[in-house]
């Protein structure tokens, strides 16, 4: 999959832009972006973890936020970073997926929530682009 | 999203109060007002004012949408936003309380002066860092049972004191006695409870901190005496909230409310404003779940106080006497309060997002021993700068008895990391005689004083505008931060 992300300016929180070749890769790329922001240096353990998700939302944009928030929830409960996802169902308003990652001793960032503020998913030329604001 | 705000729209009411007229945008139901100086307007980003305008569009909004001088861009409400909504006909909105439900402040007072304890400060700061987990994923070693979490959600700080981790006087000096009676643990999800199991008694990261401070200046000796404050006194300030449990409650109910928007035919300028009528089943449920998360935050700060007192006793010994709680107050919360509006008493839901309640003398909701003085208000500065104790006054009614909550950011965390040096910041703090205990450089650069507004300016505005009055100025001597 191809994806890229970068920080955008925001006075208090973390605003990021994620780009990917397809909509499905945009969701995967957003998950990896979250993992990179959360990821501590040299503090991961070798213990793997998988978790099943089943999410229904109002529309695709809300679904992306709900997906990432669900990932954050399990990160916090299990002290884990999830950086891979396998979609079993991937529809505009619903997804079922297995997320995979590793347990960690600590996080680099405390993300309180992925907000719905200014959330956008757009198809531009030959790629998909999402803007996300994370409350930290 | 709306067009960029033009600051020329702001109309001056007084040196410290500016208004955006209702005519500015046709969806505004009331004017928007901001307590701020001309100088601070220049350094506040346009988007924050736009978000204040958005607050004025909410169903049931009363009089004005308001912002305090520490206003900066948030994600629905600006940080520093206050809005009072008619409880009968208006809405309730989780985004206007935020993810860190009942993030708030607590101040513990010692009976010792700086000269009496000077040689112990480094040791005390290390003991505080050891006793109170401050970082990310650094929960407490023992996880509480879900049953115990339910008891905390409904009992708040009272549940912690009942178990011997505090005294009854602590509860009297907490907003709402450290427990909102209408909390319902059954309306908090299992995910939220799971997140909270190892987080009671933990500081968290970001701008949360513990500080050892010294009372540097007394502005109002009469009120300071009532509060038990005196010059050169050593005090300990705690800033934290409801941790992952509170974040999850906000996430859960925002999701619920977004799906309920069409049902109630409510249109909002941004999904983060998702709201429902307060009288609806969803609205009532959120209010009870928010109360439970608020209780969790009070329990968290009460538990931290226990560990702080332990560290104090270990280092200073019994001669140091007990640390007394001055007050504990929230700055992210939604409360039912009654105000006279258009000549009639009306119950409103005051949403405070980065704003502190400041009730005046003789208000029924403040402790008996502070009745003549007014409610203590605790305002933290940024790392290494002064903090303040203020008191509520009658003229604060103009802002639904709300005042500022801190300095307010002016530089993004990302930019701070890029342009500031942790070692230079630490060196500058050391030169000022401030010890910093923080396990990461990132935590130091992101929270550097340069990333925030000048707290002195913020305090002058709320003092001169009559929202609250200055009682004492506190100077940090040791900072213990999350990462």
Reported ipTM: the value is: 0.90
For B203-236, write each residue's pLDDT tens digit: 987 789 999 999 999 999 999 999 999 999 999 9
Decide if B297 contacts B245 (C-beta within 8 A).
no
CB-CB under 8 Å, B409 with A58: no
Q: Which of A28-37, B20-29, B186-195, B438-447 has the lowest mean pLDDT?
A: B438-447
Residue of B148, B444, B46, B109 whose CA lies nearest to B308:
B109
Does the pLDDT value for residue B2 go beyond 70? no
C-alpha to C-alpha distance for B401 and B235, rounded to whole angstroms: 26
CB of B407 within 8 Å of a chain A CB? The answer is: no
Which chain A residues have a beta carbon less than 8 Å from that of B205?
109-110
Percent of chain B with pLDDT over 90: 81
Residue A40, pLDDT score: 66
Can you give the pLDDT at residue B4? Answer: 81
Tell me, yes or no, if B405 is annotated catalytic.
yes
pLDDT at B450: 86
Q: B105 near B331, Cβ under 8 Å?
A: yes
Find out whether A87 and A24 touch, Cβ atoms under 8 Å.
yes
Q: How many domains, chain A?
A: 1
Domain regions of chain B by residue span:
104-481
A106 to chain B: which residues are within 8 Å by CB?
135-138, 483
Summarize pLDDT for B86-111 with one digit per residue, the tens. Answer: 999 999 999 999 999 999 999 999 99
Mean pLDDT check: name the lowest of A39-43, A129-133, B372-376. A39-43
Question: Minimum mean pLDDT among A130-134, B59-63, B450-454: which range?
Answer: B450-454
Which residues on A lie below 8 Å from B409 (Cβ)?
A: 11-12
Q: Residue B1 — pLDDT band, cuts 50, 70, 90?
A: very low
Q: Residues B296-348: pLDDT tens digits? A: 999 999 999 999 999 999 999 876 678 999 999 999 999 999 999 999 999 99
Range of the domain at A82: 3-135
By three-state DSSP, how is residue B253 classified? helix
In chain A, the residue whose alpha carbon lies closest to the alpha carbon of B415 is A9
Superfamily of domain B104-481: tRNA-splicing ligase RtcB (3.90.1860.10)
Strands (E), B114-232: 209-218
CB contact under 8 A, A79 and B137: yes
B75 touches chain A (CB under 8 A): yes
What is the mean pLDDT of the segment spanning B428-454?
Answer: 86
Provide the CATH number for the domain around residue A25. 3.55.10.10
- pLDDT reported for residue B268: 87
Q: Name which of A40, A76, A104 is nearest B244 (Cβ-Cβ).
A: A76
Counting residues of chain A whose pLDDT is more than 90, the rounded percentage is 73
- Per-residue pLDDT averaged across B176-187, rounded? 98
Most A CBs within 10 Å, among B43, B49, B50, B75, to test the A interface: B75
Q: What are the pLDDT digits (tens) for B147-174?
A: 999 999 999 999 999 999 999 999 999 9
* pLDDT more than 70, % of chain B: 97
Helix ranges, B239-349 (H): 243-260, 281-316
Average pLDDT in chain B: 93
Residues of A in contact with B417 (CB under 8 A): none
Query: At B418, is the pLDDT very low, low, confident or very high (cuts 50, 70, 90)?
Result: confident
Of B208, B405, B414, B463, the catalytic one is: B405
The whole-angstrom separation of Cα B190 and Cα B252 is 11
């Amino acid at each position: 999959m191809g994806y890229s992300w970068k920080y955008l300016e925001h006075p208090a929180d973390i605003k990021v832009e994620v780009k990917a070749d397809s909509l499905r890769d945009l969701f995967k790329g957003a998950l990896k972006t979250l993992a990179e922001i959360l990821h501590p240096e040299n503090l991961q353990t070798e213990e793997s973890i998988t978790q099943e998700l089943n999410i229904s939302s109002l529309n695709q944009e809300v679904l992306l936020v709900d997906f990432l928030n669900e990932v954050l929830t399990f990160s916090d409960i299990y002290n884990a970073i999830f950086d891979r996802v396998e979609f079993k169902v991937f529809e505009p308003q619903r997804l079922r997926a297995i997320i995979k990652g590793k347990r960690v001793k600590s996080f680099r960032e405390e993300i309180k929530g992925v907000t719905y503020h200014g959330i956008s998913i757009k198809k531009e030329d030959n790629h998909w682009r999402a803007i996300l604001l994370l409350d930290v | 999203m709306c067009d960029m705000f033009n600051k020329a729209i702001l109309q001056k009411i007084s040196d410290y109060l500016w208004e955006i007229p209702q005519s500015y945008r046709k969806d505004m139901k009331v004017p928007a007002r901001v307590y701020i100086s001309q100088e601070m307007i220049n350094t506040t980003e346009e988007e924050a004012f736009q978000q204040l305008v958005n607050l004025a569009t909410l169903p049931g909004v009363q009089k004005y949408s308001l912002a305090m001088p520490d206003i900066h861009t948030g994600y629905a409400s600006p940080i520093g936003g206050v809005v009072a909504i008619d409880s009968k006909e208006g809405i309730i909105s989780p985004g206007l309380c935020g993810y860190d439900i009942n993030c708030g402040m607590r101040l513990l007072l010692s009976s010792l002066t700086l000269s009496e304890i000077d040689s112990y400060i480094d040791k005390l700061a290390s003991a505080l860092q050891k006793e109170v987990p401050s970082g990310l994923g650094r929960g407490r070693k023992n996880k509480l049972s879900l049953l115990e979490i339910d008891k905390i959600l409904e009992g708040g700080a009272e549940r912690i004191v009942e178990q011997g981790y505090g005294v009854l006087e602590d509860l009297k000096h907490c907003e709402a006695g450290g427990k909102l009676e209408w909390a319902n643990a059954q309306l908090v999800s299992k995910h939220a409870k799971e997140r909270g199991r190892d987080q009671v008694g933990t500081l968290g990261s970001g701008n949360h901190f513990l500080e050892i401070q010294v009372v540097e200046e007394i502005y109002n000796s009469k009120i300071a005496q009532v509060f038990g404050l005196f010059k050169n006194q050593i005090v300990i300030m705690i800033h934290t909230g409801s941790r992952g449990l509170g974040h999850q409650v906000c996430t859960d109910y925002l999701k619920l409310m977004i799906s309920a928007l069409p049902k109630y035919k409510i249109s909002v300028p941004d999904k983060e404003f998702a709201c429902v009528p307060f009288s609806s089943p969803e609205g009532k449920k959120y209010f009870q779940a928010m109360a439970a998360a608020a209780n969790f935050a009070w329990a968290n700060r009460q538990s931290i106080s226990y560990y702080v007192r332990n560290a104090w006793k270990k280092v200073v010994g019994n001669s140091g006497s007990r640390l007394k709680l001055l007050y504990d107050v929230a700055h992210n919360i939604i409360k039912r309060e009654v105000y006279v509006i258009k000549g009639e008493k009306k119950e409103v839901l005051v949403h405070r997002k980065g704003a502190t309640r400041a009730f005046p003398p003789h208000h029924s909701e403040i402790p008996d021993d502070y009745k003549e003085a007014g409610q203590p208000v605790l305002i933290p500065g940024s790392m290494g700068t002064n903090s303040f104790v203020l008191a509520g006054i009658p003229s604060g009614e103009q802002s639904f008895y709300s005042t500022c909550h801190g300095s307010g950011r002016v530089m993004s965390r990302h930019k701070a990391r890029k342009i500031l040096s942790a070692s230079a910041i630490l060196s500058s703090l050391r030169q000022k005689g401030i010890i910093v205990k923080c396990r990461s450089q990132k935590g130091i650069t992101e929270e550097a004083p340069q990333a925030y507004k000048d707290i002195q300016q913020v305090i002058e505005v709320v003092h001169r505008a009559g929202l609250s009055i200055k009682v004492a100025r506190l100077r940090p001597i040791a900072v213990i931060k999350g990462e």
